[in-house]
Amino acid sequence: MKGNSERIPNKNIKIINGKPLFFYIADTLKKTNLFESLVINTDSSEIISMANERYNNWVNIIQRPKNLLGDDVSMNSIIEHDIKKIGLSNNFFQTHSTNPFLKDSTIKKAVKNFYDLKEKNETQSIFSVTPFKKRLYNSNMEPLNHDPNILEKTQNLKLIYEENSNFYIFSGSSFKENNHRIGKNSKAFIMNPESFESLDIDEKIDWELAEILINKKKYYD
């Protein structure tokens, strides 16, 4: 969790309806009673202070080293660093401070899904996706998933799935083997496309929408 963000300054600790943005997802994770600890990798002394004060012994702060600072550093490198600190034998649920609407019920369902599949040796990782049906083109304006000559109704198009960055669940051993949070034979957890739950705050317009939803108490639909 960076202290500053390119598009929205101080986004992770920016106040939204009375509390810092990262408190929303952290509070939801705590509410599930599923996780041994909340691991926060950060370069911000302010985030460290706020997290320690609110979450006490439940939070595990990992100070981001200088070689992992900067906007061009791969998330894989940060995860690799954290796993070495925490241990390969653990399973990990990675999410972001920019996902304030993720429900505790969805987290519980996803974690159960992960362990059920893992027990059957069907996967070592799952990740969240949002389905949608749109007519897509590549950079040369060539159709990717439809025939313009037919002009099929969008509701009849094949589903396309967007990796929505809400969460990734994976084992430490899977990450080591694949050097990626999405491992071999990874399974998708499909989220409701008609809900704001999967909203990821990336641009200013996302923040403005989140403010409207939270201030109107319409957290989840």
DSSP 162: E
Q: Looking at residue 186, what is its pLDDT?
A: 95
Q: Exposed, middle or buried, 206 (CB in 10 Å: 0-12/13-18/19+)? A: middle
Q: Looking at residue 218, what is its pLDDT?
A: 55
Query: What's the CA gap between 167 and 172, in Å, rounded?
Result: 15
What is the band of 219 on the pLDDT scale with cuts at 50, 70, 90? Answer: low
* pLDDT (tens digit per residue) in 136-191: 999 999 998 888 998 888 888 888 999 999 999 999 999 999 989 998 899 999 99
Sequence ranges of the domains in the chain: 11-215
Q: Which CATH class is domain 11-215?
A: alpha beta
pTM of the model: 0.91
Q: Looking at residue 112, what is its pLDDT?
A: 98
* Angle CA 197–199–200, to nearest 5: 135
DSSP 170: E
Section 3-24 average pLDDT? 90
- Average pLDDT of the chain is 92
